[in-house]
Amino acid sequence: NRQLFQDRLEVALARAGRSRNRVAVMFIDLDHFKHVNDTMGHGAGDRILRFVGERVRGAVRNSDTVARIGGDEFTVVLPDISGPAPAARVACKILGAMDEPFEVAGHPFLLSASIGVALYPEDGRDRESLIRKADAAMYRAKAAGRSTYRLCATDGSSSEPPVLIDEL
């Protein structure tokens, strides 16, 4: 999944560079997922991770890429996106998909997610910088109380660290 994500992101960036479009990269981390593994076991946690992947997949377009890159972390590539507002709408849609409880072995679990979003070319022009900035934005979402998202935006002329924009 990680390699597929990286390959699709590289293709999206190359295409966006030629067509002058934007690409959004989302970094999603489940909030307090350790509790599921601790109380129900890793088998239940694995089932919930599959359910989360299905819900995230249902919240994005067919042309987008959803990948679980490890543990309880997912990434999304949104190629050909027009800007931060559509990326924010997708983030809200993903958060909304998490509102329904997940049921495993007759036990409902409420989970939330924290999402960070970085945009090409504003926040970075290569895979590594976009992933790093989306990850940093995700940690800011966690610090803001979890179950939210943060967009990362930089002024291309500045060497300042990313400035995060609150929800639109």
What is the torsional sign of CA 47, 71, 16, 152?
positive
Q: Count of H helices and E strands in the chain?
A: 5, 8
Q: Is 38 a catalytic residue?
A: no
Report how far residue 73's alpha carbon sits from residue 27's, in angstroms, rounded to the nearest whole number: 7
Contact 69, 47 (CB under 8 A): no
Q: Is 80 exposed, middle or buried (0-12, 13-18, 19+ CB in 10 A)?
A: middle
Active-site position among 46, 72, 155, 166: 72
**Known catalytic residues?**
72
